[in-house]
Structure 1
Amino acid sequence: MPTWARTLTGHDGRRYRFDPGSFSLELLVTGGPGEYRRYEVLHAPEDLATWLRDCRLTTTAPITDVHVTHEDLERVKALRDAFLRVARALAHGAAPDPAHVEALNAATAETPRPRLDPGTLALAWAAPVTGAQVLGAAARDAVRTIATGAIRECSADDCRLLFLDTSRSGSRRWCSMERCGNRHKVRTHRVRREAEPL
């Protein structure tokens, strides 16, 4: 199974790779409501189009022709925010607000259409990929992701990244071993060394 990761930058300026495990969870790193507003990167339709050209949908085929309106952008952000609230509730063992779940269900209609080039048989997305299709793809993926029951939040005290735990044992703890997992290892090693008798 191929993996896909996005490069993020932490508060300390260090870059690291993060694979959230699904398209809808990937959308959550673009910002959100409340405390997540400071991470917002989707300010204009062009921002969503740019983000799409580097999202995990490109593992199927490149996304070159995108048409997103201001209304599309606002609907995608509203869906993202509803999914964030549902995913966080589930990651903390709480029941999500049924209205947020229904918002996801209501948006599952249209999705991008894969098509084969008749001459080369190369796989591509039917052009243009629209904002409405992005909304539908994110909603359908969110519904499938929720149904797995495997949404987790990073175990680091100062990290709120959410991911799909696809590990065989179901025991993934960290958003990234490069970042939070490594910091935990360093702290554990330091504590162990300090506890050793002189």
Structure 2
Amino acid sequence: MTLWTEPAVGQWFVSNDGVRWWFDSGDISLDFAYTGSMGDGRPEWEYWHSPEDAEAWVLARFGVPVSVTQADLRSAKRLRDAVAGLVTDVSQGRPQRPDHQAVVNRYAARPDVAPQLGDVDPQPTIDQVLAGLAREAVHVLGQHADGIRECGGDNCAIVYLDTSRSANRRWCSMSRCGNRHKVRESRARQAAARSTTEPGTDRPDPTGEPE
């Protein structure tokens, strides 16, 4: 993406129980996809209820103002849903849907923000921003599809791009699913320890001799 500044990646989510947590998707195109429901139809995941919401997102990510109309918002959501569908396909081991690919390719073929010399303030249009997001999605889905994964937490289908050096990221967030996993493991170890020390339990003979 050739906007003047590197986009800020990651965003705050609020769980169903009201807990606010930080999600690093690994790439701006996945952040873009996660301004909506990622194809699962849950309205509570929708961040872009109005053109102003889209304008605020672009300003926060790229530091540049854009003007968004209702028609622009519908166009942005069309691209967003296609990216979300492709990312979900890859994370679940399915072939990428050609109709979603066609949408992303169509947006990626449009001109994005061209780099310029000198002290020039960028004044992109929303169409240029969408073109840049589509090109980033093409790059990720084409060159880094093997890093797109689904969270390993129970009942969590959040998708991210693993950008860790060791390529072994397992959770959408260590403070959420990673922490839940650690708590479950700790409780399981404590339960196992209690079962070997409480009276009446079957324990091995320390002498190793048959009773």
Per the TM superposition, whether the score is higher than 0.5 is yes
Instruction: Tell me, yes or no, if structure 1 residue 157 matches structure 2 residue 154.
Output: yes
Q: Structure 1 CA distance, aligned partners of 2:28 and 2:183?
A: 31
Single out whichever of 29-38 and 7-16 deviates more from structure 2: 29-38
Match of 2:52 in 1: 46
| Matching residue within 164, 171, 177 for 1:180 | 177
What aligned pairs does 1:46-125 form with structure 2 within 5 A after superposition? Answer: 46-55=52-61, 58=62, 62-63=63-64, 65-108=65-108, 109-115=110-116, 118=119, 124=121
1:138-165 CA-to-partner distances (Å, cap 9, x unmatched) read 1111111112121111111222221111
Match of 1:35 in 2: 41
Match of 1:25 in 2: 30
Give the secondary-structure state (helix, strand or coil) at the position aligned to 1:7: strand
- Contact 2:8 2:28 (8 Å CA) reproduced: no
- Contact 2:7 2:28 (8 Å CA) reproduced: no
Instruction: Tell me, yes or no, if structure 1 residue 12 matches structure 2 residue 17.
Output: yes
CA distance 1:114–1:19, change in 2 (3 Å): farther
1:99-132 CA-to-partner distances (Å, cap 9, x unmatched) read 11121111112223455653xxxx85x11x3220
Q: Which runs of 5+ in 2 are unaligned?
A: 1-5, 198-211
Identity of paired residues, percent?
38
Q: Structure 2 CA distance, aligned partners of 1:23 and 1:189?
A: 35
Amino acid at match of 2:36: G
Q: Structure 1 CA distance, aligned partners of 2:9 and 2:86?
A: 23
Give the secondary-structure state (helix, strand or coil) at the position aligned to 1:96: coil
Q: If each structure's strand is expressed as a fraction of its own residues, which one has the higher value? A: 1
How many residues align? The count is 186
Amino acid at match of 1:131: I
1:23-58 CA-to-partner distances (Å, cap 9, x unmatched) read 110012211344233311212211100111222xx3
Pair member with larger Rg? 2
Q: Structure 1 CA distance, aligned partners of 2:100 and 2:128?
A: 20
TM-score by length of 2: 0.80
Residue 187 of structure 1, CA deviation? 0.8
Amino acid at match of 2:16: H
TM-score by length of 1: 0.85
Amino acid at match of 2:112: T
- Contact 2:104 2:134 (8 Å CA) reproduced: yes
- Contact 1:20 1:162 (8 Å CA) reproduced: yes
Q: Which runs of 5+ in 1 are unaligned?
A: none
Residue 20 of structure 1, CA deviation? 0.6
Amino acid at match of 2:22: R
Match of 1:142 in 2: 137
Match of 1:168 in 2: 165
- Contact 1:76 1:134 (8 Å CA) reproduced: no
